[in-house]
Structure 1
Amino acid sequence: MPDPTTTPVPNPPFSPTLTYDERLNLQKMDELDFVIFSNAEWARVGESHARNIRVHWPDGHFTDGLDRHVSDLQAMFAWAPDTHIKSHPFRVAKDSLTAVTGVMQGTFSRPMPDGNGGFIQPTGKKFSIHMATVGLWNRQHTMDEEFLFWDNLTFNQQLGLA
């Protein structure tokens, strides 16, 4: 398989051995990344996330609650409004667990809040990084816990910040 960050890779078909619940959870993950996240449809995040979701971020911190998760996602789009995920080259499910890989792409085109009341001016640089999401799903087919993974050093280098 080519490197998905430089060469588009189509979504593989779902395994025929998936259960109904496993397939539904993976379909929700596709909808989440390809439509809801990529189009910043924040009012729809609750379709795949429980109200009390715990989200583990790549830098090691975690957040609790749907509202906090949505505000964190909105903050990403403040400085890179064209952020998107178009494919999941690898996706697996077993019982209430899903794992997908993808490529998150966008452009650092607007000022980025620095967390201290200031802003980092946009570099205009594009980013294309490997990401992975592991989800723990409940019986209502929403995630109770989500683990997000990407290489922050590569991300910051592509943004022109490292």
Structure 2
Amino acid sequence: MINRRSLITHGSTAAFGALALAAVTSGTGVAEAAPAGYSPWTPLPDPATTPVPNPPFAKDLTREERRNLETFDELDFDVFTHQKWDRLGESHARNIRVHWPDGHYTDGIDRHIEDLKGLFVWAPDTRIESHYLRVANGGLTAVAGVMKGTFTRPMPDGKGGFIKPTGRAYAVNMATIGLWNRGRTMDEEFLFWDNQTFFQQIGLG
């Protein structure tokens, strides 16, 4: 059994990669003998620029692991994308701690909802439609996907003013690691994407 807290604390990027490889290899079934020099691993194109279909779930997931991944799909594809904030409690505990890409974290679902709403103020078409990697191990899930949107409305600058919209679209690869409790919601969530690429794409980098 993998200690989920140890994985997060001692290198989430490495843990995510290791879990991804394990999920891919364990979900492919029995393969015939391959010729010498053959590699079954086919690198993905950049999912942010080339559509990559959502893969099937790995075959050896437990009921808990599959349920958590299905809940996370529903969270991103429907609840987040269509701003159904009254349903966020289906995946997030009331006292959830959320870690953001810039290093800060917040506590509580109400604060998280307000932060998520802020993404739609300046990019009302913000959406997540792809999870090209989905990994689970007990109460830990790791999902990689693509977040897209267009900077079409004024962006609050945090100082009482606004940044004029550039009209530019963005598409960034992102990863989310979630720690799930026995109540089937996340107690802690870690969000990762490249902020430099994000700001460059919308014309602010």
TM-score range, shorter chain: over 0.9
Measure how far apart 1:42 and its partner are.
Answer: 1.0
Is 1:156 the counterpart of 2:199? The answer is yes
2:131 match: secondary structure = coil
CA offsets, 1:74-103, max 9 Å, x none? 011111010011111011000000000000
Structure 2 unaligned residues grouped into runs of 5+: 1-43
2:147 match: secondary structure = strand
What is the aligned counterpart of 2:185 among 102, 118, 142? 142
1:87 & 1:18 partners in 2: Cα distance?
20
1:74 match: 117
Q: TM (normalized to structure 1)? A: 0.99
Q: Identify which range, 135-144 or 3-12, moves more after superposition.
A: 3-12
CA offsets, 1:122-157, max 9 Å, x none? 000000000000000001110000000000000000
Is 1:25 the counterpart of 2:68? The answer is yes
1:9 match: 52
1:151 & 1:3 partners in 2: Cα distance?
14
Structure 1 unaligned residues grouped into runs of 5+: none
2:193 & 2:46 partners in 1: Cα distance?
15
CA offsets, 1:26-52, max 9 Å, x none? 001100001111111111111100000
Counterpart AA for 1:125: R
2:130 match: 87
2:14 match: none
Is 1:34 the counterpart of 2:82? The answer is no
Measure how far apart 1:8 and its partner are.
Answer: 1.1
1:66 & 1:116 partners in 2: Cα distance?
25
Q: Which of 1 and 2 has higher RCO (CA within 8 Å, sep 6+)?
A: 1
- Normalized per residue, which structure has more strand? 1
What is the aligned counterpart of 1:110 among 138, 153, 160? 153
2:189 match: secondary structure = strand
Ranges of 4+ aligned residues in structure 1 off by more than 2 Å: none
1:64 match: 107
Q: Percent identity?
A: 68
TM-align CA RMSD:
0.6
1:96 match: 139
Find the structure with the greater CA-based Rg: 2
Q: Identify which range, 145-154 or 5-14, moves more after superposition.
A: 5-14
1:52 match: secondary structure = strand
2:45 & 2:157 partners in 1: Cα distance?
35
Measure how far apart 1:71 and its partner are.
Answer: 0.1
1:91 match: secondary structure = strand
1:5 match: secondary structure = coil
